[in-house]
Amino acid sequence: MITRNPCIANINAGYLFPEIAKRRREYAAAHPAAKIISLGVGNTTEPILPHINRGLVEGARQLGTVEGYSGYSDEGLLALRERISAVFYQGELGADEIFISDGAKCDIGRLQLLFGGGTTVAVQDPSYPVYVDGSVLIGAAGPWSGTGYRGITYLPCTVENDYFPDLSLLPKHGLIYFCSPNNPTGAVVTREQLAALVDAAGKTGSIIIFDAAYSEYIRDPKLPKTIFEIGEARTCAIEVNSFSKPAGFTGVRLGWTVVPRDLKYAGGESVNADWSRICGTIFNGASNIAQAGGLAALEPEGLKEIRELSDFYLGNAKLIRSGLQSLNISCVGGDNSPYIWAQFPGRDSWEVFAEILEKCQVVTTPGSGFGPAGQSFIRFSAFGHRAGVEEACGRLGKLSR
């Protein structure tokens, strides 16, 4: 028989969110009367708002007409790429630098093909588990050493450093994953910090994969929403983004990736040209219905709806944060992001996860699932119906008993 890809064997456990879903199912099976509320996985819960929804419906309707029918869309509708440039990048990016995707996660996985298994990888610790797991799958990291994956440079983001890492830890010629607003801590980089990160990437000959999936949750106008607010990033950064969290497209599937033309490998070859080649080979374009929805989302009426929807989830975040603070549980995040990062000093994250599930019937995400520095933390997601969030906040009071 053919042998298993050894990289898969290097993954030490199941992917974090299915593991949480499994524990929830086990608890529900043992407690059939329990009314479980999820503040676990960051999955949107509210209906798509009317203008954006009409865009989706109209996109589907068009497919049933001779004039409106379209097939494969390759790197994405030109109109959508131009609109993304205008709305998010002040028109400064060329349409050929923007690639429409079926979501940020899918592109985070595919981007690894640009660099292969010989790359050194650095991540914020804690961070979205796909960066590390994807690196293990391509052979750039692993196996698990007991405290982390071999080959990954973990950049601790802690209370002590105010969730911004020590850039002197960056490896040379590495791939740096950086997420702002951060999942799970909710920390957002300042312009000065972002400039320092870009500078450090330039000096170490590294490339940053900047994940801006939560940029539409930023309310503080001083905070940067894209890495391309720093001009030099054009020579050292790729940015991924998504319609999932701003427009409720987690199930619709639509995102984009920016690969600047100025981005070059050590040998001077164009990363943009390679990305185009990879997408052409293993990706056949995002759904044209989703793209019609995306176009509607970026019209003035759609942008208002994005604001309304993200305001709603930020309202949930505020409730969760003040609920936790009233219990004297120290936490950060939730003001420019939909996640609250709560500290349970000296405790094991999975143990706290189990306690919250047992006492409150609330599902959360254990911080250790996001990296070694996440130990003793719990992530609360603000994605949920308002009544459920209010009920969950009330039940959290049982933790003090």
Q: How far apart are CB 209 and ligand PGU at their closest, in Å?
A: 10
Question: Which of 76, 103, 186, 338 contacts ligand PGU by CB under 6 A?
Answer: 103
- Of 242 and 349, CB closest to ligand PGU: 242
Q: Is 356 helix (H, G, I), strand (E, B) or coil?
A: helix
Q: Is the peptide bond before 300 cis (omega within 30 degrees of 0)?
A: no
**Tokens 């254990």 sit on residue:** 366
Which residue from 199, 271, 265, 184 is spatially nearest to 231, judged by alpha carbons?
199
Q: Does 42 bind ligand PGU (CB under 6 A)?
A: yes
Q: How far apart are CB 341 and ligand PGU at their closest, in Å?
A: 12
First-last CA distance in the chain: 56
- Of 97 and 107, CB closest to ligand PGU: 107
Question: Which of 44, 206, 215, 244 contacts ligand PGU by CB under 6 A?
Answer: 244
Angle formed at CA 293 by CA 287 and CA 297, multiple of 5 degrees: 140
Q: How far apart are CB 159 and ligand PGU at their closest, in Å?
A: 21
User: CA–CA separation, 375 vs 181, rounded Å?
Assistant: 20
Element (H, E) at 350: helix 349-360
- Of 138 and 363, CB closest to ligand PGU: 363
Residue 221 burial class via C-beta count within 10 angstroms: exposed 0-12, middle 13-18, buried 19 and up: exposed
Q: Does 176 bind ligand PGU (CB under 6 A)?
A: no
**288 to 347, contacts with ligand PGU by CB under 6 A?**
none
> What's the order of all strands across the beta sheet hosting 339-343?
331-333, 339-343, 377-381, 365-366
Choose one: 97-105, 153-161, 318-326, 387-395; the region binding ligand PGU (CB under 6 A).
Answer: 97-105
- Of 17 and 312, CB closest to ligand PGU: 17
Which residue from 242, 264, 240 is spatially nearest to 251, judged by alpha carbons?
242
Question: Which of 75, 97, 211, 305 contacts ligand PGU by CB under 6 A?
Answer: 211
Q: How far apart are CB 184 and ligand PGU at their closest, in Å?
A: 7
User: CA–CA separation, 12 vs 399, rounded Å?
Assistant: 31
Q: Is 341 helix (H, G, I), strand (E, B) or coil?
A: strand
Q: Does 104 bind ligand PGU (CB under 6 A)?
A: yes
Q: Does 283 bind ligand PGU (CB under 6 A)?
A: no
User: CA–CA separation, 150 vs 143, rounded Å?
Assistant: 6
Choose one: 99-107, 231-239, 296-304, 390-398; the region binding ligand PGU (CB under 6 A).
Answer: 99-107
Record the tokens describing residue 63, joined without a space: 């497919």
Q: Could you tell me how many residues of this chain bind ligand PGU (CB under 6 A)?
A: 15
Query: What is the DSSP track for 362-399?
Result: EE-EEGGGG-GGGTTEEEEE--S-HHHHHHHHHHHGGG
- Of 125 and 211, CB closest to ligand PGU: 211
User: CA–CA separation, 278 vs 256, rounded Å?
Assistant: 15
Q: How far apart are CB 164 and ligand PGU at their closest, in Å?
A: 17
Q: How far apart are CB 251 and ligand PGU at their closest, in Å?
A: 9
Question: Which of 17, 27, 283, 312 contacts ligand PGU by CB under 6 A?
Answer: 17
Choose one: 103-111, 143-151, 185-193, 231-239; the region binding ligand PGU (CB under 6 A).
Answer: 103-111
Amino acid (1-letter code) at residue 335: D
Question: Which of 105, 110, 225, 234 contacts ligand PGU by CB under 6 A?
Answer: 105
Binding site for ligand PGU (CB under 6 A): 17, 41-42, 103-105, 128, 179, 183, 211, 213, 242, 244, 250, 255
